[in-house]
C-alpha cells in the first residue's frame, strides 16, 4: 500500500510511515523515561549530609553508579546504603586520600567537589579580615580550595582515557560577593569559581570533552546553617531574618541544587563549560539599592 505524504507528493511506503511513527514514539518515550545518567560513574564529596547527600540521591535516581565520599563514615555509609552506592572515606584536604581514590577508581564520568566548611563548625572564632587567625584561614582554604584543586586534578586524570566527563564545583554566593564576617569562606569560594574556569579552559585546550562548571547556592537549608541558627524559641524568627532580603523569601532546598547538578552531569549540558550558575532565590539579581526595593 502507498499513500502520499503530507509534506510533498512523494508516495510513501506504509511500513516507512509506521517505522517513523514508532521511532517518534520511542524518542518521546526515552525522553520521558530514560534515566539521564545511565552508564555514568559519579563521585560526590561531602555526600554524608545536606547538598552532597541530595546530589548523590538524585544521581542514583538517574541511574548513575555513585561513589559516596565524606569524612563522616557513619553518615556517608548510610547514604550509600540508601542508594545502593559505594562509600569511601575521603578527606578532600588530604592528598594521600585522593591518591587512594585514584588507584581504586581510575576511571570516572562525573565528579562533584561539594565538601565544604564555613569555619564556624567548631570552637567559635573570628572570621572577619581584621581578627581572623591564620590557622583558621588556612583550615577553611584547605577543605574548600585545596580539596577542589585535588579533586579536579584527580578527575582530569580519571576522565582523560575516555576523553569526556563533567566536573561540578560547589562554590557559593559568597564566591561572588564579599562576606565581612566570613572572609576565608568567601575567599576560598571565589577561588573555586576561578579555578573552575581554569580547569574548563585547560581541558578544552587539551582537546578533551571534560566540562567544568560551578554552582553558586545561597541560603540552602542544610546542617551547615545549624551553628548560625541555633536552638530555642527564637529560631523561627532567626530563620525568617536570614531570608528577609532574599527576593523569594525562603530558604532553598538541597534537592533544588541537586537538580542543577543532574543537568550539568548529563549530556544535555554538552555545550556548557566554565559557566557559573547561581541558585539563590534571586539574591544576586539585584541589590538593596535596586530601584523599587
Ligand X SMILES: NC(=O)c1ccc[n+]([C@@H]2O[C@H](COP(=O)([O-])OP(=O)(O)OC[C@H]3O[C@@H](n4cnc5c(N)ncnc54)[C@H](O)[C@@H]3O)[C@@H](O)[C@H]2O)c1
Q: Which residues are catalytic?
A: 185
**Closest distance to ligand X from the beta carbon of 154 (Å):** 13
Residue 156 interacts with ligand X (CB under 6 A)? no
If the CB atoms of residues 65 and 222 are measured against ligand X, the closer one turns out to be 222
The single residue among 40, 57, 70, 182 that binds ligand X, judged by CB under 6 A, is: 70
H helices within 34-62, ranges in order? 50-61
**Closest distance to ligand X from the beta carbon of 51 (Å):** 4
Residue 132 interacts with ligand X (CB under 6 A)? no
Phi and psi dihedrals of 169, rounded to 5?
-105, 125
Maximal C-alpha separation, the chain: 85
The site for ligand X, by CB under 6 A, has a size of 28
Burial class, 146, CB count within 10 angstroms (exposed 0-12 / middle 13-18 / buried 19+): middle
d(CA 89, CA 162): 26
Residue 170 interacts with ligand X (CB under 6 A)? yes
Q: How many CA atoms lie within 13 A of 227 on its CB side?
A: 10
CB distance 173 to 216 below 8 Å = yes
The single residue among 43, 83, 92, 186 that binds ligand X, judged by CB under 6 A, is: 92
If the CB atoms of residues 142 and 204 are measured against ligand X, the closer one turns out to be 142
The single residue among 43, 44, 48, 88 that binds ligand X, judged by CB under 6 A, is: 48
- Residues found in the chain: 293
**Closest distance to ligand X from the beta carbon of 19 (Å):** 48
d(CA 219, CA 251): 5
Residues within window 274-293 making contact with ligand X, judged by CB under 6 A: none
d(CA 293, CA 275): 29
Q: What cell was used for 255?
A: 534537592
If the CB atoms of residues 14 and 221 are measured against ligand X, the closer one turns out to be 221
The single residue among 114, 187, 214, 278 that binds ligand X, judged by CB under 6 A, is: 114
Residue 88 interacts with ligand X (CB under 6 A)? no
Beta strands in the chain (DSSP E): 2-4, 11-13, 41-44, 65-70, 86-89, 110-113, 164-170, 209-217, 276-279
Q: Regarding beta strands 11-13 and 86-89, do their DSSP bridges make them parallel or antiparallel, or are they unpaired?
A: unpaired
Residue 71 interacts with ligand X (CB under 6 A)? yes
If the CB atoms of residues 73 and 107 are measured against ligand X, the closer one turns out to be 73
C-alpha distances out from residue 41 to 11, 106, 109, 195, 234, Å: 47, 11, 5, 23, 44
If the CB atoms of residues 158 and 219 are measured against ligand X, the closer one turns out to be 219
Select from 89-97, 133-141, 199-207, 270-278 the region that touches ligand X (CB under 6 A). 89-97
Residue 223 interacts with ligand X (CB under 6 A)? yes
d(CA 213, CA 197): 7
**Closest distance to ligand X from the beta carbon of 64 (Å):** 19
Residues near ligand X (CB under 6 A): 45-46, 48-52, 70-72, 90-93, 114-117, 143, 170, 172, 217-220, 222-224
Amino acid at each position: 500500500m502507498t499513500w502520499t505524504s503530507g509534506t510533498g507528493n512523494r508516495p510513501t511506503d506504509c511500513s516507512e510511515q509506521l517505522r517513523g511513527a514508532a521511532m517518534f514514539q520511542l524518542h518521546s518515550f526515552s525522553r520521558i523515561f530514560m534515566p539521564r545518567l545511565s552508564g555514568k560513574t559519579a563521585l560526590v564529596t561531602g555526600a554524608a549530609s545536606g547538598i552532597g547527600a541530595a546530589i548523590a540521591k538524585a544521581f542514583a535516581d538517574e541511574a548513575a553508579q555513585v561513589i559516596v565520599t565524606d569524612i563522616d563514615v557513619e553518615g556517608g555509609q548510610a547514604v550509600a546504603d540508601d542508594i545502593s552506592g559505594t562509600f569511601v572515606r575521603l578527606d578532600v584536604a588530604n592528598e594521600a586520600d585522593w591518591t587512594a581514590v585514584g588507584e581504586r577508581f581510575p576511571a570516572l564520568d562525573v565528579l562533584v567537589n561539594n565538601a565544604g566548611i564555613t569555619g564556624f563548625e567548631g570552637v567559635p572564632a573570628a572570621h572577619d579580615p581584621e581578627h581572623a587567625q591564620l590557622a583558621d584561614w588556612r583550615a577553611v582554604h584547605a577543605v574548600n580550595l585545596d580539596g577542589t584543586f585535588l579533586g579536579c586534578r584527580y578527575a582530569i586524570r580519571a576522565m582523560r582515557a575516555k576523553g569526556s566527563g563533567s566536573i561540578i564545583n560547589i562554590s557559593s554566593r559568597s564566591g561572588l560577593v564579599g562576606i565581612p564576617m566570613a572572609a576565608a569562606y568567601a575567599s576560598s569560594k571565589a577561588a573555586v569559581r576561578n579555578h573552575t574556569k581554569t580547569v574548563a579552559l585547560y581541558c578544552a585546550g587539551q582537546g578533551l570533552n571534560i566540562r567544568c562548571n560551578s554552582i553558586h547556592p545561597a541560603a540552602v537549608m542544610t546542617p551547615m546553617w545549624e551553628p548560625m541558627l541555633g536552638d530555642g524559641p527564637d529560631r523561627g524568627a532567626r530563620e525568617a531574618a536570614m531570608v528577609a532580603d532574599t527576593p523569594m523569601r525562603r530558604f532553598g532546598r538541597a534537592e533544588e541544587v541537586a537538580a542543577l547538578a543532574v543537568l550539568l552531569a548529563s549530556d544535555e549540558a554538552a555545550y556548557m563549560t566554565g559557566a557559573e550558575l547561581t541558585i539563590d532565590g534571586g539574591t544576586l539579581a539585584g541589590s538593596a539599592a535596586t530601584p523599587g526595593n
